[in-house]
Structure 1
């Protein structure tokens, strides 16, 4: 019998801050399994890795650097939200 517990995102992490108040434009959705969220984070980090490599090989490609920056901000939000979900599941709160 499998006693594994499904741990989900809590929906607290935000990214893409804008305006003078640093208001977040996006938020991680609550209720996504942490396993699936981490899979997405891995895929995004693969893109970041490729973009930073390519931008390092070219001297003047600011668009790749900015794309990497925004993608890495998304990944951080996913990982932060997964961490909150894990803490909540362990009884430590979010």
Structure 2
């Protein structure tokens, strides 16, 4: 069996650390098309690239907001990619 991007997300990835116990506030929903999840991750990363560049060239108060926004968006994108990867592991051929 070969890995397939037709597999849905498994819902195992979380993001949004909060409180002293580093609990996660959000998670990826199971059952979303992996292709759509990766497309969404790509869109999020495009926003991250734009915001991080703008934050790097801006020395005003807005730069701090842009850096935090890019941090949170990148965490969301990573969770999507991690969740797709979790779904691919069981589908890989034994070595």
Q: Give the alignment's TM-score, normalised by structure 2.
A: 0.86
Structure possessing the higher relative contact order (Cα contacts under 8 Å, 6 or more residues apart): 2
Which digits, 9 at most, give the CA deviation of each residue in 1:33-57, with x for residues without a partner?
A: 1100000000000000000111111
SS in 1 for 2:65: helix
The number of aligned residues is 89
- Provide the C-alpha distance between the structure 1 equivalents of 2:93 and 2:21, rounded to a whole number of angstroms: 33
SS in 2 for 1:30: coil
Confirm whether residue 35 of structure 1 aligns to residue 40 of structure 2. Answer: no
Runs of 4+ in 1 over 2 A off after TM superposition: 88-92
SS in 1 for 2:66: helix
Confirm whether residue 80 of structure 1 aligns to residue 85 of structure 2. Answer: no
Supply the RMSD in Å over aligned alpha carbons.
1.6
**Other-structure match for 2:46:** 46
Q: Which runs of 5+ in 1 are unaligned?
A: none
**Other-structure match for 2:69:** 67
Q: Which runs of 5+ in 2 are unaligned?
A: none
